[in-house]
Each structure stands twice: as structure tokens, then as C-alpha cells.
Chain A
């Protein structure tokens, strides 16, 4: 079974982004970019399936600017076999990403596609579900455990009330939650090896998919600020402030 893992290049999770003063977006110049953390978890899970003899090949794919190849290299350094870069400039919405991924899946015929549950930049939490819809495949989002059963899958999902376990008919889409695994760091020898692994260069236009956004971003603004308040000296003062000043007790 081949496993396809879409990986997205995003602003590193440690960066506190700033809104541009003209309201056209957030400041992305000279900001550290990394692989979306949920996608690292997705790559890790695919690699574990391969190491357990359940998967034969792990292919990472990214849609984005030329620099997204760095994100693919990160996946290759972790241990993925090869990469596919689909170049697309500007704002590519989850629906368009899902359409491109469908075209890639039609060509690659994976038995499983593992995505992150959300990208930490746009926080859309859509792409995996949309891809499942377009392919007509089963889906399990927010996975905290994944088991292969022949060509099917057993997945435990993190849901609002606790955990849910479902069985998916393969081929299937799984999206990762934080507790699925702890991703490995790439070792130096593997980083060197990754430089020789193949990355297939494509363009979004190769797939004949219309990338015109359905959502028009009118503006991007700073959220209303919140100022720190006061420090209280002890529990007694805290209780009295909560009671008389804040009125929440």
C-alpha cells in the first residue's frame, strides 16, 4: 500500500504573527516557516506504517510556492521516499488544494492519505474532509490511533465528548490530531540522504484546475487587544476582588 501525505509550509508555530498596517494580510517577509506541525505527525504515522511492513512507499506532496520544496525535503529527511511539488502562487483555498490533491491521488493511487487536521495558519480544518468528498472515500478526522486491517482501517478519533472508534473501508482519508504520535527529528545523515531523493515538479495549471478563490479577503485586522490587569498579593485579595470588583462570584 502506498501512503500519500500532503504537507503544508506554514509560519512556524513559535512565531507571533503581526497584521500588516494596511490591513492586506499578515507580515510574512523574513518570518520563519516550517512544516505544519500536524503534517509532521502525518508523515511520522506513514513512516511507522512503512516500518511495520504495512505500507510500501511514502510520498509527500505540497502545494505552494517554490519554497514549499523545503517542506518536502523535511518530509524526505524524516524518511519519506519521494516528493511531489505542485507550484501555485498566492492564495490557494482548501477546496482548490483538495482538487489538486484529488488529481495527484488519481495518478498515484494510494491506499491511504494522511493529512493534518488543520493548518495552523488559516485554521480552516477542511482539506482532508473535502478531499474525501471529491474522491468519494471514507474519512476519519482528528485521529489519535490508526490501525491497518487488510485494506481497511480502524481509527480512534478525538471528539468533543471523548473518543470514538470507527472502521473505514479503504482507500481512506485520515487526518491527524496531536496525540497520534510524536514525530521524529531528522538525523544529519538522513538530511544528507534526502537531498538525493526525487521531487517531481508540477504546476497547478498541469491539472487544469480553476484556482480562483471563492472567498474574497476584504481585510485582515488586529484582534481587539487585551491588557494585563493587576497582580494580587494573596488569596484573600483575589477572592475579594473577584467578589466586589469583577462580580463573578
Chain B
């Protein structure tokens, strides 16, 4: 019995999502090997080898794996399938894209976005935007699993696993990479941030996001999120969207500003440890999940809050 964890990384380092997924993978009870597929990804493989409990790292270093294309990456994972009983990856956009393709090629049903390992074949997963939790038992001999990382603790370092090269699989040559627009930011990534400040439709413009939300976030060392309404209106980039169909987060502190609290938004943040809501409508549904609610006009309250934190030496 061996589990293959497919790592989320940026060639230079391992993403926090990988550490969290390792905790879920280890809970399956078998040895865990880690696959690092990328281009010039030796440094990421070195980092993976240091993760506590990893028995072996496979490094597939090839231009075919440079740009997250689903077809070659799925072919690679399937080529390794005979040696493994379970394939586990974080539910990031990269693996939401590739793992179902792997599952279908292996003729198994993927278990999507698990939040708990009950036993090696039984898992909990949220359905209906988190309004129900299903316990499912997989009858497939090989398991393909994606992990909702916000619910697992990050595994630490302490290992020194050997690194082996994995041969590239034949590239089906079905798609090619043309370009990307990746926002560079010094702020923490949403899915690993300890604090998140999110703005909603009430922000009214991109400029207001920059003027009100971002300074508060920077005072707190927080990541910045947004509701779908704010993203659709162009006030915030798509990768800031928190919710059922955006990112699911569970920081220590989530500050929702001018967000009403629709089911689809709550699905992405209601497992946060402490929730603060600032909204001028005292009946806004967000107050039903907020630990601390402030009924106020955000255009007054947010600068005040930013100032008050400044005085605290933040």
C-alpha cells in the first residue's frame, strides 16, 4: 500500500497546500511518496524531501510540465499508477483541472474536496455549498482524492527522503500554453493567510478597494479577498474571490466589509476561527455567522479601524 501525493509547488519551493495535503495523505495509513512535476523543479523536490514522513520523492523535470497543462500531467500520473493505491492532491485550480482526468483514465470515481479522512476508504466532503456534509465510502481499488486544504493542519519538516527521477510520459500534444497573467503581490496567499480582509459590492470601485481594503489588510499583514459581486463588477481580480465557486479559506480572522453574506460566499469562509463583519444593514445575513458585528458605514468605520490598529503599533 503506497500513496502518491502530487505536490503543489512553484519549482523553487513547495506550497503550503502541499504540507496540508500531506496530513490528509498520511491519514490514509500507507507510505507516502511525493511527485514533483515541473520544469527546473529540483529545489521544490529538495523541499518536498524534507517534509516529515515522506518516504520518497519522484521528480519529473520536463518542459511538458512547466505550465500546468492537464493532458501531459494526467498522462504522467497514470503512467505511475501501477505502483500506487491512492493519488492525493490539494483542491487547487491545477489539480481540480487534472485529477478528474486521471480518475476517468483509471476508471475510478474521484472523491472531491475531502475535509476528513474517516478511514482509508471513507471520507467526509461538503455538498450544496457546505450546507450538508456527506460521508462517502469509495469502492474503487485505486483512490483518486482531492483535499480541501483549509481543514487540515500543515505537516512540518523533519524528513530526508531520497529523490528519484521519474521519466516523462508521452505527451498527448492536445493543448499548448500561450500565456498567463499572474498577479505579483507581497501579500500572503488567500489559502494560507492567517488573516483575510474581504470587500464586497459596497466597495463601488477598484480605487476604493485600494483606498480602504488594502491599507487595512496591510496593517494586519492580511491577504485580500472579495465577494463574487465585487469581482464581477471589476473591483477586484478573479483570484480574490472567496466562496463556493472561488477559494475556500479558514483563517484565524476573516473581516467581511460591505458583504451581505450570501450562502455562496459563506461557503467559502464560514470555517474561519473569528469572523468580523462591517455592514450598514443590521439585518445583513453575514451577522448571523459573525463573532463581532459592527453596524456602520464602511467608509467611516474602515479608516477608523485602520487608524486604531496603527495606534496599536500594527
Contacts and interface: CB of A to CB of B under 8 A. Distances in A.
B70 A217 contact: no
A154 B98 CA distance: 19
A13 B144 CA distance: 28
B239 interface: yes
A215 B139 contact: yes
15 contacts: A95-B103, A120-B128, A129-B70, A129-B101, A159-B94, A164-B68, A167-B175, A213-B139, A215-B136, A229-B275, A231-B293, A235-B308, A238-B294, A239-B312, A242-B292
Interface string B272-307: 011110000010000111111111100001001100
Given A117-B245, A141-B97, A165-B178, A239 B305 contact: yes
Contacts of B172: 136
Contacts of B239: 158-162
A249 interface: yes
A218 B293 contact: no
Contacts, number: 263
Interface residues of A, number: 82
A125 B96 contact: yes
Contact of B101 (A123, A130, A242): A130
Closest 10 CB pairs of A and B: A138-B174, A129-B100, A229-B291, A130-B104, A214-B109, A133-B104, A126-B100, A161-B182, A165-B178, A159-B93
B314 A231 contact: no
Given A158-B239, A165-B178, A218 B122 contact: yes
Interface of A: 11, 13, 16-19, 26, 38, 93-95, 98, 117-118, 120-134, 136-142, 144, 154, 157-169, 177-179, 213-223, 226, 228-232, 234-236, 238-239, 241-243, 246, 248-249
Nearest to B96: A125
B135 interface: yes
A222 B100 contact: no
Contacts of B282: 231
- The majority secondary structure among interface residues of chain A is mixed
A223 B132 contact: yes
B137 interface: yes
Contacts of B136: 215-218
A179 B92 contact: no
Contacts of A118: 245
Interface string B27-63: 0000000000000000000000000000000000000
B113 A123 contact: yes
Contacts of A124: 110, 112
Nearest to A133: B104
A13 B139 contact: no
B135 A221 contact: yes
A9 to B, nearest CB: 14
B110 A126 contact: yes
A90 B96 CA distance: 25
Given A129-B104, A167-B178, A249-B312, A222 B292 contact: no
B193 to A, nearest CB: 13
Nearest to A226: B289
Nearest to B124: A221
B133 interface: yes
B226 interface: no
Of the candidates A133, A179, A213, the one having the most CB atoms from chain B within 10 angstroms of its own CB is: A133
